[in-house]
Amino acid sequence: MVALATNPLDLIEEIAREIANRSNRSYASHVRQIAKVLPEGVSDLYAWLASLDDAAIKELAQKLELIEGKPRPHFTAAVKQARTLALQRQTLAGMPPDFAEALRWAMERAGLGLKALAREVGVDRTTLRKWIRGKGIPSSLRAVERLEAALHLPPGSLAGRLPRFGRQRLEVRGDKTYRAFTRTFLRVASLVRYEVPWADLPPPAREALLREEEERWRRLSHRQIRVRQAQKQTFTLPFRDWPARAREEWNEYVVYASTRPGTGERARRALSGGPLSSRVLRAPTVERELAEMQKFYGYCVRVRGLDPDHLGLNLLTDLSLVRDYLGWRVDRYGDAVPGLTRTEILFIALVKKLHRRYLPVIGLQGDLEGLRELEKRLKAAGLDETEGYHAVEPLLETPDPLGWLAAGIALMLRDLSGRVGDLLAPKVPTSGAAQEALALYRDAVLFWTATAHPLRAKHWYAARLDMDQFREGDFAPGRGHVGRRGGTYYLAYRVEEFKNASSMVFRNLRADDLVEFPLGDPEHPLATLEVEGTRYALNEVFHVYLRGVLPRLAGSLGRPGPLLPLFPGLDSKAQLSGMFRSRSAYVAALPDAPLILPFGPHSLRHIVATSIVKATGSFEAAANVLLDSVEMVVRHYARFAPRDRYRHGWRLYVQTRGGGR
C-alpha cells in the first residue's frame, strides 16, 4: 500500500512532477520554488493553493524576487497551473452558485483556457469571455450541455445555475434580479441558519441550501402552465397588422369611450352630434380591451383563416363565432389544467358591454340575450380559481403571513446594522461599500414602510419630498408626499392619486383632499421592530433616512430638488419591482420559511389582507386597510376567513368590549 504524501514539501514536488508530465517541463522547476515563499502554518497545501487569487500570486512572485535577488518571469504562470491542479481536486460542493463564477471555477478545475474551451464548445472567444465575466449567458441549452461535457461536469451542473434552464424565472424580470435574489438568499440564509458565512459553510449545509434554491423554481401554477402552452401557439394579431378600416374603427371607439368630461374634444363631439359614452374608461382598461380584441382577431385570421380585410366589430355580433373562439381557447390546454379562467369571462363581459352600449351607436345589432345566456353557462361550468398570488402563496397558507414579513424586515435591518452600526446613528463606510450600505438603508426603510402601509406600487415610485417645505421640526407635504406633525412623520396622497378615486371608498372626499398615513402610530403592529435586542421605531429610522441617507443617495444618483424622489434609484416601476424581488430573499432566508418566490410590491397587499382576514374574520377591516371595496376583499380573500365566522364574530365583539358581557 502506497502512503499518500501529506508533507507540504512532498506535495509541492508531487505537483511539480504532474505539471511536467501534463504540460510544460520547464514550469516544474518554478513550481518547486513555492517552498521558498510558503507561509508558515499551511497544513493543507491544496486548499491554500486553491484559495490564491491573481493578486496573491503576484505578491508571492515579488517575495520570491526579494529572496533570490532576481525575477522569475514564469513563476506566476507556474503557480497558476499549480492552483488549477488544486482546484481540480475540489469537489463539486465548492462550485459557486453564480453561473459566471461557476464557469470560471470549472475552467480552472479542468485546466482549460479560453481559446481551448471556445474551440471545444464551438463558440467564439468573445462570446465565451462575456459568459465568464457575467456580461451574458448562453442562449441555448445545447451550448450549456457542451460546456458541461468539455469541462467534465455532471449534466445540469452549469444549467442549474442559469435562470433559463435549471430554474424557471417565475415572477422575476431580468437575470440581474434573479442573481441578486439567489446571492442574497444564500448569503443571508447561511448566516442566519448556520451562523457562518457562505464561504465557511460545510458541504452538507451548502448542498441543502442549493437544493432548496433549486426546488424553489420548480413550482408552477395553473396560470404559468397555461402561459407556457399558449406560447407554443401564438395567435395574437397586433394592432399594427390590422387593416386600416379595423384600426380606424377601434380608434373611434377609444375616442368614444375615453374622452373625459370637460375637455374640448368631448365638447366638439357633442356639438357635431357624435356619440358620447356615459362612463369614461381609464387608459389601462382600454389597453386591456385592445389586448382582448387582438387575440380575437388573431384567432379569426390565423386559426379560422378569415380574410384580414373582413375584420371589424361586426364579427362580435356572430354569437357562434364568439362561442367557437372561447371553445378553442379552452380546448388548447388539453387536460393539463382547467381551461376556463376569469380571462374568458372578461372577454364575454367586453363583448356584452359593446353590444349594450357601443354597437347600437354605430348601427350594429347583436344577440345580447344569447351572450348573457353564454356568460351564465360559463360561470355555471366553474372557473379555475387557482390563486394568482403564486410567488407568496406558501406564505399565505401559514397562520400569520404578516409575521414572516416582519421577521424578514427585521433580518434586513440586522444585516444593515452589521454594515452601519446603530441604525439611528449610522456610520456609513467611506469606501466603495458606501453606496451599497446607503441603498440597503433605503430599501429597508421602504420595505418596512410599504408593509406598514400597503399602498400600490405607484405611491412608492412616484413619491416625492418637497424640498421647499422640508425643514427641521414640523412641515407640510406641499407638492410632495411627506409631512411632519408633532414630531411624527406621515405620508400624504391626494384622492386623485388613487386608482379607485371615483369609487365609494372616497365618496366623502374631494379630488385634492389628502389621505394621511402616519409612521408613528403607537397602535400600529409594525410601528416598532426589534433587532438583536434593540427596539427601533419606524418613525425614528425614517427621520434618519430623510436627514442623512436620502441627501447622499440623491446626490450620488444626480436627483436634484425641489421635488426630490423619496426613494432615489427606485423612482420607476421597474426599479421598484426589482428591489422588492431581490430583497424578498430576506424573507426566504428565514429558518423554516415557506418556499416562496421573489415577490413584488403588490404582494404586500395580498399578505396584509390575508393576515387581517385570518386574524379578524372581517372583510371590512381588510378593505379599510387596502382602501378598497369589501366586494374585492371577499372575491380574493374569503378563502382565508375562519370557517366558523359566526362564532368568531361574537368573540371579536366580546374582545372589543374588554371581555365582559
C-alpha atoms less than 13 angstroms from C-alpha of 519 in its C-beta half-sphere = 24
Joined together, the cell numbers standing for residue 577 give: 419591482
pLDDT band at 178 (very low <50, low <70, confident <90, very high): low
Using one digit for the tens of pLDDT, what is the confidence trace for 16-28?
A: 887 777 666 777 8
pTM of the predicted model over 0.75:
no
Q: Each residue of 491-516: pLDDT tens digit?
A: 999 999 998 888 888 988 998 999 99
pLDDT of residue 188: 93
Instruction: For residue 484, list its beta bridge partners.
Output: 475, 489
Question: Residue 30: CB partners within 8 Å, gap ≥ 6?
Answer: 72, 74, 75, 77, 78, 79
Report the C-alpha gap between 499 and 309 in whole angstroms.
Answer: 38
- Tens of pLDDT, residues 214-251: 888 877 666 667 766 666 677 889 999 999 999 999 99
> What distance in Å separates the CA atoms of residue 557 and residue 259, rounded to the nearest whole number?
39
Q: Does residue 4 register a pLDDT over 50?
A: no
Average pLDDT, the chain: 85
- Cis amide leading into 562 (omega within 30): yes
Residue 497's nearest CA partner among 489, 506, 486 is 506
The whole-angstrom separation of Cα 408 and Cα 184 is 12
| Greater model confidence, 361 or 343 | 361
Q: What is the pLDDT of residues 377-424, one digit of tens each?
A: 877 776 555 555 578 989 999 999 999 999 999 999 999 998 899 999
The residue that leads in pLDDT, 644 or 369, is: 369
Q: Is 625 helix (H, G, I), strand (E, B) or coil?
A: helix
The CA-based dihedral angle spanning residues 212, 214, 220, 221, taken in that order and rounded to the nearest 10 degrees: 30
